[in-house]
């Protein structure tokens, strides 16, 4: 489902028209433009990590599928975004290259859906979230707001004009604003 | 509450049954496949004929000059490719409407079905099951949702509340609200369409693979393919992941517990190829 990027008719919404950039699974994108909407396809058990520096206006979005790259080192080299561990590194490196400052970074996270499985046999979503948290912690970074877990399939939209993050659940028309925890 | 039969009886409005799929499946299981019979079967359907020729002429398969001849295209592609194309093309017609009762937009159930089928086929390959049979069964595993979508349309909010409040699965909520669930409705429909018992049974029990004995291995492949698709975000609609974990699917197929991420990676790579084939680019 494509995010809603056109302001409603007759509204006095001052939003400029945003340039949408899809971030498919296994990739990340970093921009330094204010009029962009970075958005993922639905995440499933995968996780989206959005970063935003409100001072330099650098914004980035990662869409990972699995926690760590030990399962397939070769693929991780070709597609670092597929794994959270290598994806976060790639995302941050690119953001810093565009002059984002670590102390300014605001981090939003969505995804990591789970099925009903008390045995935790099928807990890919949970392991994704745990690895992400430890990967960020190692770098002295924390999550600002998140929408993770549950049985819903959602996507994440990052509006670089406002530094605003929304999530959208498949099958539900409205987007949800991702607020500070 | 209605019975499975009464739901399926209402299905006269469905697009034409992919009749050619079971026939083609029987034909391809013969040891010495007669290609002229395959060609004849496909040639009854102009859209399929065009699809097979187009696939043959895409960059991926094009070796030498493009063909306009169906027999030539079938020979060049090989039976397995033709079979999968026919299964995909037949299903696309069937799944093309929206299933608003499940919060599904047009095409979403179909995308989920293709991703699941690709994943299940990889599982089948790994454990030595019949790949074509598993592919087709998985492609059609949610066909019962097409039948139930209209019945759910007025009450899907109730369905959602039911799954959220009780931490139950979507299927259990269907059973409670409608008296039937999509897997048994789908199995019943495929039985009427004369699909082989293995497919009927595996679809019927794709959320409880153990119950599909003696076809529990096929059912387990569908279960895992469905799960891989959901984990990769190819699951749509409300409460898309509200389904029960069935560890027996792994034990039935003798797979180690950590196989799922590996199947996700293989499916990721395979889907990129399939998408380019389907879009014809």
Are A59 and A163 in contact, with CB atoms under 8 Å apart?
yes
Least Cα separation, residue B98 to chain A (angstroms): 11
> Residues B64-103, buried b or exposed e (16+ Cβ, 10 A)?
eeebeebeebbbbbebebbbbbbbbbbbbbbbebebbbbb
Q: Does B209 touch chain A (CB under 8 A)?
A: no
| CA–CA distance, A83 with B102 (Å, rounded to integer) | 31
Give the start-to-end residue ranges of the domains of chain A.
Answer: 19-180
CA B160 to chain centre: 24
Asked if pLDDT for residue A9 goes beyond 90, the answer is no
- Which SS3 state, helix, strand or coil, does residue B197 take? helix
pLDDT for the residue numbered B1: 61
Residues of A near B (Cβ–Cβ under 8 Å) read: 1, 25-26, 41-46, 65-66, 71-72, 75, 82, 113-119, 121-122, 124-125, 150-153, 155, 169-172
Asked if pLDDT for residue A7 goes beyond 60, the answer is no
pLDDT for the residue numbered A113: 96
pLDDT for the residue numbered A181: 45
Are B53 and B73 in contact, with CB atoms under 8 Å apart?
yes
pLDDT for the residue numbered B281: 40
Nearest in space to B120 (alpha carbons), one of B219, B251, B237, B20:
B219
> Would you put residue A140 in left (φ > 0), alpha (ψ -120 to 50) or beta?
left
pLDDT for the residue numbered B39: 84
Q: A16 falls in which pLDDT band (50, 70, 90)?
A: low
| CA–CA distance, B147 with B186 (Å, rounded to integer) | 8
Residues of B in contact with A116 (CB under 8 A): 167-169, 242-245
pLDDT for the residue numbered B42: 80
- Inspect the interface and report whether the beta carbons of B245 and A65 lie closer than 8 Å: no
Asked if pLDDT for residue A90 goes beyond 60, the answer is yes
- Top-level class of domain A19-180: alpha beta
- Inspect the interface and report whether the beta carbons of A44 and B231 lie closer than 8 Å: yes
- Inspect the interface and report whether the beta carbons of B169 and A116 lie closer than 8 Å: yes
- Inspect the interface and report whether the beta carbons of B241 and A44 lie closer than 8 Å: yes
- Inspect the interface and report whether the beta carbons of A82 and B268 lie closer than 8 Å: yes
Per-residue pLDDT of chain B (281 residues; tens, 9 = 90+): 678 788 777 665 554 445 677 777 777 777 777 788 888 878 776 667 777 877 777 756 666 677 778 888 888 888 777 877 777 777 777 777 778 888 887 778 888 988 999 999 999 999 999 988 898 899 889 989 888 887 787 777 788 788 888 888 989 999 988 899 999 999 998 888 778 899 999 999 999 999 999 999 999 999 999 999 999 999 888 888 999 999 999 999 999 988 999 999 999 998 887 665 555 44
What is the side-by-side strand order in the sheet with A145-148? A27-31, A58-64, A47-53, A106-111, A145-148
List of domains in chain B: 16-95 (no CATH), 97-281 (1.10.3210.10)
| CA–CA distance, B210 with B223 (Å, rounded to integer) | 11
| CA–CA distance, B277 with B263 (Å, rounded to integer) | 21
Give the pairing of strands A58-64 and A154-159: unpaired
pLDDT for the residue numbered B276: 59
This model of the complex carries an ipTM of: 0.91
| Crossing angle for the helix pair B216-231 and B131-139, to the nearest 10 degrees | 60
Q: Which residue of A has its CA nearest to B99?
A: A171
Residues of A in contact with B268 (CB under 8 A): 25-26, 65, 82
With helix as H, strand as E and coil as C, how does chain A read? CCCCCCCCCCCCCCCCCCEEEEECCCEEEEECCCCEEEEECCCCCCEEEEEEECCCCEEEEEEECECCHHHCHHHHHHCHHHEHHHHHHHHHHHHHHCCCCHHHCEEEEEECCCCECCCCCCCHHHHHHHHHHHHHHHCCCCCCEEEECCCCCEEEEEECCCCEEEEEECCCCCEEECCCC
- Inspect the interface and report whether the beta carbons of A66 and B264 lie closer than 8 Å: yes
- Inspect the interface and report whether the beta carbons of A171 and B103 lie closer than 8 Å: yes
Higher-scoring residue by pLDDT: B58, A90: A90
Nearest in space to A25 (alpha carbons), one of B272, B16, B219:
B272
| CA–CA distance, A16 with A5 (Å, rounded to integer) | 9
pLDDT for the residue numbered A12: 55
Does B245 sit behind a cis peptide bond, omega within 30 degrees of 0 on the bond before it?
A: no
φ/ψ of residue A133, rounded to 5: -60, -45
- Inspect the interface and report whether the beta carbons of A44 and B232 lie closer than 8 Å: yes
- Inspect the interface and report whether the beta carbons of A170 and B241 lie closer than 8 Å: no
Give me the total of CB pairs closer than 8 Å, taking one residue from chain A and one from chain B: 114
- Over the stretch A38-60, which tens digit does the pLDDT of each residue have? 999 999 999 999 999 999 999 99
pLDDT for the residue numbered B59: 57
């Amino acid at each position: 489902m494509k995010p809603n990027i056109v302001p409603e008719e007759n509204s006095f919404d001052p939003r400029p028209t945003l340039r949408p950039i899809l971030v498919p699974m296994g990739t990340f994108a970093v921009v330094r433009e204010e009029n962009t909407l970075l958005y993922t396809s639905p995440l499933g058990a995968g996780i989206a990590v959005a970063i935003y520096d409100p001072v330099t206006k650098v914004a980035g979005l990662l869409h990972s599928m699995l926690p760590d790259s030990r399962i397939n080192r070769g693929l991780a080299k070709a597609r670092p975004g597929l794994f959270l561990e290598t994806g976060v590194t790639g995302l941050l490196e690119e953001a810093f290259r565009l002059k984002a400052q670590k102390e300014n970074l605001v981090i939003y996270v969505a995804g990591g859906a789970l099925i009903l499985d008390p045995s935790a046999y099928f807990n890919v979503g949970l392991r994704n979230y745990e690895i992400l948290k430890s990967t960020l912690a190692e770098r002295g970074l924390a999550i600002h707001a998140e929408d993770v877990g549950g049985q819903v399939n959602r996507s994440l939209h990052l509006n670089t004009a406002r530094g605003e993050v929304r999530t959208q659940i498949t099958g539900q028309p409205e987007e949800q604003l991702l607020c500070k925890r | 509450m209605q019975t499975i039969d009464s739901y399926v009886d209402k299905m006269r409005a469905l697009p034409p049954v992919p009749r050619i799929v079971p026939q083609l499946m029987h034909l391809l299981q013969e040891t010495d496949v007669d290609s002229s019979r395959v060609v004849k079967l496909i040639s009854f359907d102009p859209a399929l004929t065009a699809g097979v020729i187009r696939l043959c002429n895409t960059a991926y398969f094009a070796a030498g000059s493009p063909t306009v001849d169906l027999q030539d295209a079938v020979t060049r592609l090989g039976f397995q490719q033709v079979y999968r194309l026919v299964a995909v093309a037949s299903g696309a017609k069937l799944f093309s409407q929206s299933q608003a009762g499940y919060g599904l937009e047009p095409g979403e159930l179909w995308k989920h079905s293709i991703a699941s089928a690709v994943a299940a086929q990889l599982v089948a390959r790994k454990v030595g099951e019949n790949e074509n049979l598993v592919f087709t069964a998985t492609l059609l595993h949610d066909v019962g949702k097409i039948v139930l979508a209209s019945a759910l349309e007025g009450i899907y909010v109730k369905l959602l509340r039911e799954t959220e409040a009780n931490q139950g699965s979507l299927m259990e909520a269907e059973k409670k609200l409608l008296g039937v669930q999509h897997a048994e409705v789908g199995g019943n429909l495929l039985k009427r369409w004369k699909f082989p018992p293995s497919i009927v049974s595996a679809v019927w029990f794709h959320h409880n693979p153990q119950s599909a004995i003696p076809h529990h291995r096929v059912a387990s492949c569908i279960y895992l393919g469905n799960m891989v698709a959901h984990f990769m975000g190819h699951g749509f609609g409300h409460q898309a992941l509200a389904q029960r974990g069935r560890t027996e699917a792994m034990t039935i197929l003798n797979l180690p517990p950590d196989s799922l991420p590996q199947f996700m990676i293989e499916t990721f790579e395979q889907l990129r190829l399939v998408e380019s084939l389907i879009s014809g680019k």
